[in-house]
Amino acid sequence: MKIVLDAMGGDFGPAPNVEAAVQTAREFGYEIVLVGRQELVRPLLVQHNTANLHLPIVHASEVIEMHEHPAQAVKTKKNSSMVMGMQLVKNGDADAFVTMGNTGGALAAALFNLGRIRGIHRPALAAAYPTMKGWSLLLDVGANTDVKPDYLVQFALMGSIYAEKVMNVRNPRVALISNGEEETKGSQIVQDAHPLLKAAPINFTGNAEGRDLPAGNADVFVTDGFTGNVILKLSEGMKTMVEDLLRNAFMSSAQGKVAGLLSRDIIRGAMKKRLDYEEVGGAPLLGVDGVVIIGHGRSKARAIRSAMLRAAEAVDRGVVDAIEKGLEALPKTSTSESRVPSAN
């Protein structure tokens, strides 16, 4: 297993990336290629004991910063860690690319350098979403703000394959996020996608409402990247809110402080287990012709390690090939392009 890690990606620079690379190489015997500015990466790497570990550095002189315009940055910064890292995968020199950097940049770099799997309209970013019952997959969470019904069908298929192959869910239940359970509910695009999803070779269970997400009432939740992004960030925000509410409540009285001391670890444990957006680490970019995992900018070493493990699983289980094969089983809907006006 040979994974390229964008050493420059994320809010904390190369340090947590290097730390995670060393850990993962040691723990699993993977070769981790650190792509980034060697004058920054090497001094960090030599601080670790890397004897017998495979941790080559590939020098990339440029960095796509968090707030750059994605497509433009990818086009002009040919020597950036993202572009060079994707090229290593493209050329068969590595199995997967992992980054905690600019999500839009990673998406653009993947599209330009790896390209789409043949037949895929748009790649989708999929997030593992914590629920009462474990983990579900939510996609798209930000790659496509405007979609067409056909895109949603492909997202559903890709999500179903990923859930089955990597998340070990047998015959995953796939639901379409809408503003009501009935199939007549939803935006026009969602209503148009509904019959297509019914006809697709997946275990489509119908529409899901917002409350079905935390309840874990499906294994794969399909939506556009706008709604998916709002869902993900709202969920994170509510977690923060609940933590703050509880902290304030316990601190506001003497009895509360005592109860808080007794309860703190119990509450932390409960919240950690089911409201932890760091555990899983990275979101797979499904539909590009290679394994790409994009993690949170705020990721520390543990989350970066998780993202690399997800990448290794996606490689091992042949997710890209499975999506390619799955597409062949999808009914062709050649009229779709003209059926719904696009806002793109």
Residues that bind its own copies (CB under 8 A): 131-132, 142, 145-146, 177-180, 185-190, 209-215, 224-227, 229-238, 240-242, 244-246, 248-250, 253, 255-256, 258-260, 262-263, 266-267, 269-271, 273-275, 340-344
Question: Which residues, including other chains, have CB under 8 Å from residue 338's CB and lie 6 or more apart?
Answer: none
> Nearest approach, Cβ of 250 to its own copies (angstroms)?
6
- Is the CB of 20 or the CB of 152 nearer to its own copies? 152
| C-beta closer to its own copies: residue 47 or 188 | 188
Token pair of 213 as six digits: 């997400």
Question: What's the DSSP call for residue 13?
Answer: T
Q: Coil, strand or helix: which one is 210?
A: coil
In whole angstroms, the minimum distance from the beta carbon of 110 to its own copies comes to 19
The DSSP secondary structure of 77-128, one letter per residue, reads -TTBHHHHHHHHHHTTS-SEEEE-S-HHHHHHHHHHHT-BPTT-SS-EEEEE
Other Cβ atoms closer than 10 A to 279:
15
Q: Which is nearer to its own copies, 60 or 280 (CB)?
A: 280
Please identify, using beta-carbon distances, which residue of 67 and 170 lies nearer to its own copies. 67
User: Taken in order 291, 156, 143, 108, is the CA torsion positive or negative?
Assistant: positive
Look-up of token digits 């006006």: 341
Task: Tell me how far, at minimum, the Cβ of 111 lies from its own copies, in Å.
Answer: 18
Q: Which residue lies nearer to its own copies by CB, 222 or 311?
A: 222
